[in-house]
Structure 1
Amino acid sequence: MKIAIVGTGYVGLVTGTCFSEMGIDVTCVDVQDTKIEKLKKGIIPIYEPGLEDMVHRNYTAGRLKFTTDLKECLDDVEVVFSAVGTPPDEDGSADLKYVLEVARTIGCNMNKYVLVVTKSTVPVGTAQKVKSAIQEELDKRNVKIEFDVASNPEFLKEGDAVDDFMKPDRVVVGVESEKAKAIMERLYKPFMMNNYRLIFTDIPSAEMIKYAANSMLATRISFMNDIANLCELVGADVNMVRKGIGA
Protein backbone atom coordinates (compact mmCIF):
# COMPACT_ATOMS: atom_id res chain seq x y z
CA MET A 1 0.00 0.00 0.00
CA LYS A 2 1.31 3.46 -0.92
CA ILE A 3 0.42 6.68 0.87
CA ALA A 4 1.59 10.30 1.02
CA ILE A 5 1.91 12.52 4.08
CA VAL A 6 1.84 16.27 3.40
CA GLY A 7 3.71 18.15 6.11
CA THR A 8 6.85 16.90 7.86
CA GLY A 9 6.32 18.61 11.17
CA TYR A 10 5.79 16.83 14.47
CA VAL A 11 2.62 14.97 13.45
CA GLY A 12 3.46 14.35 9.79
CA LEU A 13 6.98 12.98 10.30
CA VAL A 14 5.97 10.69 13.17
CA THR A 15 2.92 9.44 11.25
CA GLY A 16 4.80 8.78 8.02
CA THR A 17 7.74 7.11 9.71
CA CYS A 18 5.58 4.84 11.86
CA PHE A 19 3.48 3.76 8.88
CA SER A 20 6.67 2.92 6.96
CA GLU A 21 7.87 0.88 9.93
CA MET A 22 4.77 -1.30 9.46
CA GLY A 23 5.62 -1.96 5.79
CA ILE A 24 3.62 0.84 4.15
CA ASP A 25 5.30 2.68 1.25
CA VAL A 26 5.29 6.32 2.43
CA THR A 27 6.21 9.56 0.66
CA CYS A 28 6.54 12.56 2.96
CA VAL A 29 5.95 15.91 1.26
CA ASP A 30 6.98 19.39 2.42
CA VAL A 31 7.32 22.72 0.63
CA GLN A 32 10.57 23.55 2.45
CA ASP A 33 13.50 22.44 0.29
CA THR A 34 16.03 22.68 3.10
CA LYS A 35 13.95 20.52 5.44
CA ILE A 36 13.52 17.81 2.79
CA GLU A 37 17.22 17.81 1.93
CA LYS A 38 18.14 17.49 5.61
CA LEU A 39 15.68 14.62 6.05
CA LYS A 40 17.25 12.82 3.10
CA LYS A 41 20.59 13.19 4.88
CA GLY A 42 19.15 11.84 8.11
CA ILE A 43 18.92 15.19 9.90
CA ILE A 44 15.69 15.14 11.93
CA PRO A 45 14.08 18.53 12.74
CA ILE A 46 12.49 17.31 15.99
CA TYR A 47 13.56 15.06 18.83
CA GLU A 48 11.44 12.05 19.69
CA PRO A 49 12.91 8.93 21.32
CA GLY A 50 13.34 6.22 18.67
CA LEU A 51 12.31 8.42 15.73
CA GLU A 52 15.76 9.09 14.26
CA ASP A 53 16.70 5.41 14.07
CA MET A 54 13.31 4.57 12.58
CA VAL A 55 13.68 7.26 9.89
CA HIS A 56 17.17 6.03 8.96
CA ARG A 57 16.08 2.38 8.83
CA ASN A 58 13.03 2.94 6.62
CA TYR A 59 14.66 5.52 4.35
CA THR A 60 17.53 3.11 3.72
CA ALA A 61 15.03 0.30 3.05
CA GLY A 62 13.21 2.48 0.50
CA ARG A 63 9.89 2.48 2.34
CA LEU A 64 10.19 6.13 3.38
CA LYS A 65 10.77 8.84 0.79
CA PHE A 66 10.93 12.64 0.94
CA THR A 67 9.95 15.16 -1.73
CA THR A 68 8.81 18.75 -2.19
CA ASP A 69 6.42 17.88 -5.02
CA LEU A 70 3.04 16.33 -4.15
CA LYS A 71 2.18 16.13 -7.85
CA GLU A 72 4.92 13.62 -8.58
CA CYS A 73 3.50 11.00 -6.22
CA LEU A 74 -0.28 11.54 -6.58
CA ASP A 75 -0.69 8.96 -9.34
CA ASP A 76 0.97 6.29 -7.22
CA VAL A 77 -0.72 6.70 -3.83
CA GLU A 78 -4.07 5.54 -2.55
CA VAL A 79 -4.25 7.83 0.49
CA VAL A 80 -3.02 11.38 1.11
CA PHE A 81 -2.76 12.53 4.72
CA SER A 82 -2.85 16.28 5.30
CA ALA A 83 -0.71 17.06 8.35
CA VAL A 84 0.10 20.70 7.67
CA GLY A 85 0.00 23.45 10.29
CA THR A 86 -3.17 25.25 11.39
CA PRO A 87 -1.76 28.29 13.21
CA PRO A 88 -4.15 30.60 15.10
CA ASP A 89 -5.55 33.43 12.99
CA GLU A 90 -5.85 37.01 14.24
CA ASP A 91 -9.18 36.24 15.90
CA GLY A 92 -7.82 33.08 17.53
CA SER A 93 -9.50 30.67 15.11
CA ALA A 94 -7.52 28.02 13.24
CA ASP A 95 -6.05 29.28 9.97
CA LEU A 96 -6.97 26.67 7.35
CA LYS A 97 -5.09 28.21 4.41
CA TYR A 98 -2.47 25.44 4.33
CA VAL A 99 -5.08 22.69 4.68
CA LEU A 100 -7.12 24.11 1.81
CA GLU A 101 -3.99 24.71 -0.27
CA VAL A 102 -3.22 20.99 -0.04
CA ALA A 103 -6.81 20.20 -1.06
CA ARG A 104 -6.61 22.48 -4.09
CA THR A 105 -3.25 21.00 -5.14
CA ILE A 106 -4.81 17.53 -5.02
CA GLY A 107 -7.84 18.66 -7.02
CA CYS A 108 -5.61 20.29 -9.65
CA ASN A 109 -3.41 17.24 -10.17
CA MET A 110 -5.27 14.01 -9.30
CA ASN A 111 -5.97 11.60 -12.14
CA LYS A 112 -7.51 8.71 -10.22
CA TYR A 113 -9.33 7.92 -6.98
CA VAL A 114 -7.66 9.13 -3.80
CA LEU A 115 -8.71 9.21 -0.16
CA VAL A 116 -7.79 12.55 1.44
CA VAL A 117 -7.40 12.28 5.22
CA THR A 118 -7.09 15.27 7.52
CA LYS A 119 -4.60 14.60 10.32
CA SER A 120 -4.16 18.21 11.44
CA THR A 121 -6.16 19.58 14.36
CA VAL A 122 -8.99 21.39 12.59
CA PRO A 123 -12.44 22.79 13.49
CA VAL A 124 -15.59 20.78 12.90
CA GLY A 125 -16.66 21.23 9.29
CA THR A 126 -13.14 21.37 7.83
CA ALA A 127 -13.49 18.09 5.93
CA GLN A 128 -16.48 19.54 4.09
CA LYS A 129 -14.38 22.57 3.10
CA VAL A 130 -11.61 20.25 1.90
CA LYS A 131 -14.13 18.27 -0.13
CA SER A 132 -15.52 21.45 -1.70
CA ALA A 133 -12.04 22.77 -2.54
CA ILE A 134 -11.08 19.53 -4.30
CA GLN A 135 -14.38 19.41 -6.21
CA GLU A 136 -14.01 23.04 -7.31
CA GLU A 137 -10.65 22.28 -8.89
CA LEU A 138 -12.02 19.16 -10.60
CA ASP A 139 -14.91 21.22 -11.98
CA LYS A 140 -12.45 23.78 -13.34
CA ARG A 141 -10.68 20.94 -15.16
CA ASN A 142 -14.07 19.63 -16.36
CA VAL A 143 -13.23 16.11 -15.18
CA LYS A 144 -15.10 13.61 -13.03
CA ILE A 145 -12.81 11.70 -10.68
CA GLU A 146 -14.06 9.86 -7.61
CA PHE A 147 -12.50 10.77 -4.27
CA ASP A 148 -13.27 10.57 -0.56
CA VAL A 149 -12.38 12.65 2.47
CA ALA A 150 -11.87 11.41 6.02
CA SER A 151 -10.78 12.65 9.43
CA ASN A 152 -8.13 10.85 11.48
CA PRO A 153 -7.16 13.05 14.46
CA GLU A 154 -3.86 12.45 16.25
CA PHE A 155 -3.42 11.78 19.96
CA LEU A 156 0.37 12.01 20.35
CA LYS A 157 2.27 13.13 23.45
CA GLU A 158 5.56 14.94 22.96
CA GLY A 159 8.36 12.71 24.16
CA ASP A 160 6.28 9.57 23.67
CA ALA A 161 4.89 10.09 20.17
CA VAL A 162 6.39 7.00 18.54
CA ASP A 163 5.03 4.69 21.23
CA ASP A 164 1.66 6.46 21.12
CA PHE A 165 1.43 5.83 17.38
CA MET A 166 2.73 2.27 17.41
CA LYS A 167 0.67 1.26 20.46
CA PRO A 168 -2.43 3.46 20.29
CA ASP A 169 -5.06 3.33 23.01
CA ARG A 170 -7.53 4.12 20.22
CA VAL A 171 -7.56 5.19 16.58
CA VAL A 172 -10.45 7.47 15.60
CA VAL A 173 -11.46 7.63 11.94
CA GLY A 174 -14.33 9.69 10.56
CA VAL A 175 -15.59 8.52 7.15
CA GLU A 176 -18.61 8.96 4.91
CA SER A 177 -18.29 5.97 2.58
CA GLU A 178 -17.74 2.22 2.86
CA LYS A 179 -14.83 2.48 0.42
CA ALA A 180 -13.01 4.95 2.65
CA LYS A 181 -13.71 2.79 5.70
CA ALA A 182 -12.30 -0.31 3.98
CA ILE A 183 -9.11 1.55 2.98
CA MET A 184 -8.54 2.87 6.50
CA GLU A 185 -9.19 -0.58 7.97
CA ARG A 186 -6.55 -2.02 5.65
CA LEU A 187 -4.10 0.75 6.48
CA TYR A 188 -4.44 0.35 10.25
CA LYS A 189 -4.78 -3.44 10.27
CA PRO A 190 -1.17 -4.06 11.45
CA PHE A 191 -1.80 -1.84 14.47
CA MET A 192 -4.97 -3.70 15.39
CA MET A 193 -3.29 -7.10 15.77
CA ASN A 194 -2.84 -6.42 19.48
CA ASN A 195 -6.50 -5.46 19.97
CA TYR A 196 -5.99 -1.70 19.82
CA ARG A 197 -9.30 -0.01 19.19
CA LEU A 198 -10.21 1.30 15.74
CA ILE A 199 -13.25 3.55 16.20
CA PHE A 200 -15.21 4.61 13.12
CA THR A 201 -17.51 7.62 13.29
CA ASP A 202 -19.02 10.18 10.96
CA ILE A 203 -16.58 12.95 10.02
CA PRO A 204 -17.95 15.81 12.20
CA SER A 205 -17.85 13.51 15.24
CA ALA A 206 -14.20 12.59 14.57
CA GLU A 207 -13.31 16.28 14.26
CA MET A 208 -15.19 17.02 17.48
CA ILE A 209 -13.52 14.15 19.37
CA LYS A 210 -10.11 15.82 18.94
CA TYR A 211 -11.27 19.16 20.34
CA ALA A 212 -13.21 17.48 23.16
CA ALA A 213 -10.15 15.38 24.09
CA ASN A 214 -7.93 18.49 24.16
CA SER A 215 -10.46 20.29 26.36
CA MET A 216 -10.73 17.32 28.71
CA LEU A 217 -6.93 17.19 29.15
CA ALA A 218 -6.81 20.92 29.88
CA THR A 219 -9.62 20.49 32.42
CA ARG A 220 -7.75 17.66 34.18
CA ILE A 221 -4.59 19.78 34.42
CA SER A 222 -6.51 22.74 35.83
CA PHE A 223 -8.33 20.47 38.28
CA MET A 224 -5.10 18.88 39.57
CA ASN A 225 -3.54 22.33 40.02
CA ASP A 226 -6.42 23.26 42.31
CA ILE A 227 -6.15 19.94 44.15
CA ALA A 228 -2.41 20.60 44.64
CA ASN A 229 -3.22 24.00 46.22
CA LEU A 230 -5.76 22.35 48.49
CA CYS A 231 -3.26 19.63 49.46
CA GLU A 232 -0.83 22.30 50.62
CA LEU A 233 -3.50 23.83 52.81
CA VAL A 234 -4.52 20.56 54.50
CA GLY A 235 -1.09 18.88 54.59
CA ALA A 236 -1.80 16.14 52.03
CA ASP A 237 0.73 14.80 49.50
CA VAL A 238 -0.54 15.71 46.01
CA ASN A 239 1.48 12.89 44.39
CA MET A 240 -0.21 10.31 46.60
CA VAL A 241 -3.60 11.89 45.93
CA ARG A 242 -2.94 11.89 42.19
CA LYS A 243 -1.93 8.23 42.30
CA GLY A 244 -5.02 7.33 44.33
CA ILE A 245 -7.56 9.04 42.10
CA GLY A 246 -5.74 8.05 38.91
CA ALA A 247 -6.02 4.39 39.81
Structure 2
Amino acid sequence: MKKRNALLTLLAVVALPAFAGGQVDVRLGIIQHEALQDVAAELLRAIYKRAGLTLRIEPYPSARLERLTRMNQVDGEVSRVAAYFSRNPQLIQVEPAFYALVTSAFARVDRAMTLNSLSELKDYRVGVVKGDVHAAVATEGLPVVQADDNAQLFRYLESGRIDIAIDAALNGADAIKELSLEGVVKNIGDFNRRELFHVLVPAKREVAAKVSATIRLMQASGELQAMIKRLENARVNSDAPRRY
Protein backbone atom coordinates (compact mmCIF):
# COMPACT_ATOMS: atom_id res chain seq x y z
CA MET A 1 0.00 0.00 0.00
CA LYS A 2 2.84 2.41 0.88
CA LYS A 3 4.54 1.67 -2.45
CA ARG A 4 1.26 2.28 -4.31
CA ASN A 5 0.70 5.58 -2.49
CA ALA A 6 4.25 6.71 -3.29
CA LEU A 7 3.69 5.93 -6.96
CA LEU A 8 0.42 7.88 -6.99
CA THR A 9 2.22 10.85 -5.43
CA LEU A 10 4.86 10.76 -8.16
CA LEU A 11 2.19 10.57 -10.84
CA ALA A 12 0.46 13.58 -9.32
CA VAL A 13 3.66 15.63 -9.40
CA VAL A 14 4.38 14.76 -13.02
CA ALA A 15 0.78 15.47 -14.02
CA LEU A 16 0.88 19.03 -12.66
CA PRO A 17 0.76 21.73 -15.35
CA ALA A 18 4.34 22.55 -16.35
CA PHE A 19 4.16 26.33 -15.80
CA ALA A 20 2.07 29.22 -16.89
CA GLY A 21 2.46 29.63 -20.63
CA GLY A 22 2.97 25.94 -21.37
CA GLN A 23 6.22 24.09 -21.81
CA VAL A 24 9.51 25.39 -20.53
CA ASP A 25 12.63 25.61 -22.65
CA VAL A 26 15.60 24.65 -20.49
CA ARG A 27 19.08 25.39 -21.84
CA LEU A 28 21.61 22.83 -20.69
CA GLY A 29 25.34 22.40 -21.22
CA ILE A 30 27.02 19.08 -21.93
CA ILE A 31 30.68 18.08 -21.71
CA GLN A 32 31.73 17.78 -25.33
CA HIS A 33 33.25 14.77 -27.11
CA GLU A 34 32.34 12.19 -24.45
CA ALA A 35 30.33 9.05 -25.21
CA LEU A 36 29.09 8.88 -21.61
CA GLN A 37 27.68 12.39 -21.85
CA ASP A 38 26.06 11.61 -25.19
CA VAL A 39 24.23 8.65 -23.64
CA ALA A 40 23.27 10.74 -20.60
CA ALA A 41 21.88 13.43 -22.91
CA GLU A 42 19.65 10.95 -24.72
CA LEU A 43 18.38 9.63 -21.40
CA LEU A 44 17.65 13.15 -20.22
CA ARG A 45 15.82 14.01 -23.44
CA ALA A 46 13.50 11.07 -22.81
CA ILE A 47 13.03 12.09 -19.17
CA TYR A 48 12.20 15.69 -20.10
CA LYS A 49 9.81 14.59 -22.81
CA ARG A 50 7.99 12.34 -20.35
CA ALA A 51 7.82 15.27 -17.89
CA GLY A 52 6.30 17.54 -20.55
CA LEU A 53 9.36 19.80 -20.71
CA THR A 54 11.54 20.89 -23.60
CA LEU A 55 15.28 21.37 -23.51
CA ARG A 56 18.18 22.52 -25.62
CA ILE A 57 21.66 21.02 -25.16
CA GLU A 58 24.89 22.79 -26.10
CA PRO A 59 28.43 21.30 -25.91
CA TYR A 60 31.32 22.88 -23.99
CA PRO A 61 34.68 21.83 -22.56
CA SER A 62 34.19 20.54 -19.02
CA ALA A 63 35.98 23.35 -17.16
CA ARG A 64 34.30 26.08 -19.20
CA LEU A 65 30.89 24.53 -18.63
CA GLU A 66 31.41 24.64 -14.88
CA ARG A 67 32.17 28.37 -15.11
CA LEU A 68 29.09 29.03 -17.24
CA THR A 69 26.85 27.15 -14.81
CA ARG A 70 28.25 29.02 -11.81
CA MET A 71 27.52 32.30 -13.61
CA ASN A 72 23.95 31.21 -14.49
CA GLN A 73 24.71 31.51 -18.20
CA VAL A 74 23.14 28.09 -18.74
CA ASP A 75 20.23 26.57 -16.82
CA GLY A 76 22.21 23.52 -15.80
CA GLU A 77 24.18 20.57 -17.06
CA VAL A 78 23.28 17.15 -18.37
CA SER A 79 25.13 15.23 -15.65
CA ARG A 80 27.88 15.37 -13.04
CA VAL A 81 29.11 13.13 -10.22
CA ALA A 82 28.14 13.89 -6.62
CA ALA A 83 31.56 15.42 -5.82
CA TYR A 84 30.77 18.22 -8.27
CA PHE A 85 28.09 19.54 -5.93
CA SER A 86 30.48 19.62 -2.99
CA ARG A 87 32.44 22.32 -4.75
CA ASN A 88 29.29 23.92 -6.20
CA PRO A 89 26.81 23.74 -3.29
CA GLN A 90 24.62 26.47 -4.78
CA LEU A 91 23.55 24.16 -7.61
CA ILE A 92 20.66 21.70 -7.49
CA GLN A 93 21.63 18.03 -7.46
CA VAL A 94 18.51 16.47 -8.97
CA GLU A 95 17.71 13.27 -7.10
CA PRO A 96 17.82 10.42 -7.77
CA ALA A 97 20.83 9.67 -9.97
CA PHE A 98 19.70 8.65 -13.46
CA TYR A 99 22.94 7.18 -14.79
CA ALA A 100 26.43 6.17 -13.62
CA LEU A 101 30.05 6.02 -14.73
CA VAL A 102 32.97 3.74 -13.95
CA THR A 103 36.36 5.43 -13.56
CA SER A 104 38.93 3.45 -15.53
CA ALA A 105 42.63 3.52 -16.35
CA PHE A 106 43.98 3.14 -19.89
CA ALA A 107 47.52 2.46 -21.10
CA ARG A 108 49.42 1.54 -24.25
CA VAL A 109 49.34 -2.17 -25.03
CA ASP A 110 53.11 -2.29 -25.54
CA ARG A 111 53.77 -1.15 -21.96
CA ALA A 112 52.34 -4.41 -20.54
CA MET A 113 51.11 -2.47 -17.49
CA THR A 114 48.70 -3.58 -14.80
CA LEU A 115 47.03 -1.43 -12.18
CA ASN A 116 45.48 -3.02 -9.10
CA SER A 117 44.69 0.19 -7.23
CA LEU A 118 44.49 3.89 -7.99
CA SER A 119 47.09 4.38 -5.25
CA GLU A 120 49.63 3.01 -7.74
CA LEU A 121 49.12 6.01 -10.05
CA LYS A 122 51.88 7.90 -8.22
CA ASP A 123 54.44 5.81 -10.10
CA TYR A 124 53.29 7.01 -13.53
CA ARG A 125 52.68 10.08 -15.68
CA VAL A 126 48.91 10.44 -15.55
CA GLY A 127 46.54 12.37 -17.79
CA VAL A 128 42.97 13.55 -17.22
CA VAL A 129 40.44 15.74 -18.99
CA LYS A 130 40.47 19.20 -17.44
CA GLY A 131 37.36 19.73 -15.34
CA ASP A 132 36.30 16.05 -15.13
CA VAL A 133 35.55 15.76 -11.43
CA HIS A 134 35.63 11.95 -11.17
CA ALA A 135 39.14 11.92 -12.69
CA ALA A 136 40.23 14.74 -10.37
CA VAL A 137 39.02 12.76 -7.35
CA ALA A 138 40.85 9.64 -8.56
CA THR A 139 44.12 11.57 -8.99
CA GLU A 140 43.84 13.92 -6.02
CA GLY A 141 47.26 15.06 -4.81
CA LEU A 142 49.06 13.84 -7.92
CA PRO A 143 50.68 15.90 -10.67
CA VAL A 144 48.63 15.34 -13.82
CA VAL A 145 48.72 16.34 -17.47
CA GLN A 146 45.42 18.00 -18.38
CA ALA A 147 43.83 17.52 -21.79
CA ASP A 148 41.14 19.77 -23.22
CA ASP A 149 38.91 16.84 -24.14
CA ASN A 150 38.68 13.08 -24.36
CA ALA A 151 40.20 12.82 -27.86
CA GLN A 152 43.24 14.89 -26.89
CA LEU A 153 43.71 12.78 -23.75
CA PHE A 154 43.97 9.58 -25.78
CA ARG A 155 46.27 11.21 -28.32
CA TYR A 156 48.56 12.07 -25.42
CA LEU A 157 48.47 8.42 -24.39
CA GLU A 158 49.11 7.18 -27.92
CA SER A 159 52.11 9.49 -28.37
CA GLY A 160 53.68 8.52 -25.04
CA ARG A 161 53.28 11.92 -23.42
CA ILE A 162 51.50 10.16 -20.55
CA ASP A 163 51.65 6.59 -19.23
CA ILE A 164 48.04 6.31 -18.04
CA ALA A 165 44.82 8.07 -18.99
CA ILE A 166 42.03 8.25 -16.43
CA ASP A 167 38.57 8.44 -17.95
CA ALA A 168 35.12 6.87 -17.79
CA ALA A 169 35.10 3.30 -19.12
CA LEU A 170 32.56 4.09 -21.84
CA ASN A 171 34.47 7.21 -22.91
CA GLY A 172 37.68 5.22 -23.22
CA ALA A 173 36.10 2.44 -25.23
CA ASP A 174 34.55 5.01 -27.55
CA ALA A 175 37.82 6.97 -27.96
CA ILE A 176 39.74 3.80 -28.82
CA LYS A 177 37.19 3.07 -31.56
CA GLU A 178 36.85 6.68 -32.75
CA LEU A 179 40.63 7.25 -32.98
CA SER A 180 41.39 3.76 -34.39
CA LEU A 181 43.55 2.83 -31.40
CA GLU A 182 42.54 -0.84 -31.24
CA GLY A 183 45.67 -2.84 -30.49
CA VAL A 184 47.45 0.33 -29.36
CA VAL A 185 45.59 1.32 -26.17
CA LYS A 186 43.60 -0.80 -23.73
CA ASN A 187 41.68 -0.60 -20.48
CA ILE A 188 43.94 -1.80 -17.64
CA GLY A 189 41.48 -1.51 -14.77
CA ASP A 190 37.96 -0.43 -13.77
CA PHE A 191 37.77 1.22 -10.38
CA ASN A 192 35.19 3.47 -8.77
CA ARG A 193 31.56 3.45 -9.89
CA ARG A 194 29.98 6.86 -9.43
CA GLU A 195 26.37 7.89 -9.85
CA LEU A 196 25.52 10.71 -12.24
CA PHE A 197 23.05 13.42 -11.33
CA HIS A 198 21.34 16.06 -13.44
CA VAL A 199 22.41 19.63 -12.58
CA LEU A 200 20.13 22.66 -12.45
CA VAL A 201 20.58 26.23 -11.26
CA PRO A 202 18.43 27.45 -8.32
CA ALA A 203 16.07 29.36 -10.62
CA LYS A 204 14.97 26.03 -12.12
CA ARG A 205 13.85 24.45 -8.84
CA GLU A 206 10.36 23.72 -10.17
CA VAL A 207 11.86 21.96 -13.18
CA ALA A 208 14.01 19.91 -10.79
CA ALA A 209 10.91 18.68 -8.94
CA LYS A 210 9.22 17.48 -12.14
CA VAL A 211 12.39 15.85 -13.48
CA SER A 212 13.02 14.12 -10.16
CA ALA A 213 9.51 12.65 -10.08
CA THR A 214 9.81 11.48 -13.69
CA ILE A 215 13.16 9.76 -13.08
CA ARG A 216 11.61 7.84 -10.18
CA LEU A 217 8.67 6.75 -12.34
CA MET A 218 10.90 5.60 -15.20
CA GLN A 219 13.16 3.70 -12.80
CA ALA A 220 10.19 2.04 -11.07
CA SER A 221 8.86 0.80 -14.41
CA GLY A 222 12.27 -0.45 -15.58
CA GLU A 223 12.10 1.80 -18.62
CA LEU A 224 15.19 3.82 -17.73
CA GLN A 225 17.37 0.75 -17.10
CA ALA A 226 16.34 -0.77 -20.45
CA MET A 227 17.09 2.49 -22.22
CA ILE A 228 20.57 2.68 -20.66
CA LYS A 229 21.43 -0.81 -21.85
CA ARG A 230 20.15 -0.10 -25.37
CA LEU A 231 21.96 3.23 -25.72
CA GLU A 232 25.26 1.94 -24.36
CA ASN A 233 25.21 -1.08 -26.65
CA ALA A 234 24.41 1.12 -29.63
CA ARG A 235 27.23 3.49 -28.75
CA VAL A 236 29.89 0.80 -28.38
CA ASN A 237 28.80 -1.25 -31.40
CA SER A 238 27.94 1.56 -33.81
CA ASP A 239 30.10 3.60 -36.17
CA ALA A 240 27.96 6.67 -35.59
CA PRO A 241 30.05 9.82 -34.91
CA ARG A 242 30.00 11.60 -31.58
CA ARG A 243 26.96 13.83 -31.32
CA TYR A 244 28.25 16.61 -29.07
TM > 0.5 fold call: no
TM-score (ref. length: structure 2): 0.28
Greater relative CO, 1 or 2 (CA 8 Å, sep 6+): 2
Tell me which structure has the larger Cα radius of gyration.
1
Q: Larger % of helix: which?
A: 1
TM-score (ref. length: structure 1): 0.28
